[in-house]
């Protein structure tokens, strides 16, 4: 038997569609920083999108960046064992917190053939260096479109990526990892903002 789900009744509006969890890396003119984004993906050849809630600090940063050149950011995919870091970067505000410092992640730079200096997560198995091009408001999110300038891939086997569906994190091999918006609170309780 199959269940019919009304998308308007989904938890936090998130439909039960598996999504890869990413860390978006950016510079807000004060520092390099991170935010967790699940609404990110490929639109077409060399084109990607990230969708952000307008209340997020990074949404303001990206909106203001569209008027400057170059406006760049990174999309960093995560290993399944980085679940606590991913959740923390989703619950802590980038306005007040240096998430690279608090998580222990390291900034890696990539200078692409178009001379953009993009902050990326060194520990990420796969990162995309992106140049911001456009923004559209769609429902509850601002959708930012970008062109991929470089792909940085770690050598080795294909990792178990971190994903989430509605209220739970899991790995691409279907291992359950815990509840969304809860796991990162352990880092907050340990004294991180």
- In the chain, the domains with their CATH numbers are 18-189 (2.30.110.10)
Question: What backbone torsions phi and psi does residue 114 show, to the nearest 5 degrees?
Answer: -105, 15
pLDDT band at 185 (very low <50, low <70, confident <90, very high): confident
Q: What is the mean pLDDT of residues 146-166?
A: 79
Q: State yes or no: pLDDT of 149 exceeds 60.
A: yes
pLDDT given for residue 83 in this prediction:
93
Q: In this predicted structure, what is the pLDDT of residue 98?
A: 93
DSSP string, the chain: ------GGGSGGG--S--EE-EEEEEE-SS-EEEEEESSEEEEETTEEEEEE-TTSHHHHHHHHHTTSS--EEEEEE-BGGGHHHHHHHHHS-TTT--HHHHHT--EEEEE-TT--EEEEETT-SEEEEEEEEEEEEETTEEEEEEEEEEEEE-SSSPP-BEEEETTEEEETT--EEEETTTTTHHHHHTT--
Average pLDDT over residues 12-30: 80
């Amino acid at each position: 038997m199959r269940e019919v789900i009304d998308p308007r009744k989904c938890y936090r509006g998130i439909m039960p569609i598996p999504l890869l969890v990413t860390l978006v890396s950016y510079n807000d003119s004060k520092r390099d920083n991170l935010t967790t984004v699940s609404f990110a993906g490929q639109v077409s050849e060399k084109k990607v999108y990230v969708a952000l809630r307008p209340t997020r600090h990074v949404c303001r940063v990206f909106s203001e960046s569209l008027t400057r050149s170059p406006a760049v950011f990174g999309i960093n995919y995560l290993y399944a064992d980085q679940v606590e870091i991913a959740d923390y970067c989703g619950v802590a505000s980038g306005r007040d917190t240096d998430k690279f410092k608090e998580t222990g992640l390291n900034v890696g730079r990539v200078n692409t053939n178009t001379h953009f200096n993009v902050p990326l997560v060194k520990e990420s198995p796969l990162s995309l260096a992106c140049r911001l091009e456009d923004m559209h408001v769609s429902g509850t999110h601002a959708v930012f479109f970008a062109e991929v300038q470089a792909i940085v891939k770690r050598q080795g086997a294909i990792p178990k990526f971190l994903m989430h569906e509605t209220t739970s994190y899991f790995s691409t091999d279907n291992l359950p990892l815990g509840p969304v918006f809860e796991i990162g609170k352990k880092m907050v309780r340990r004294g991180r903002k």
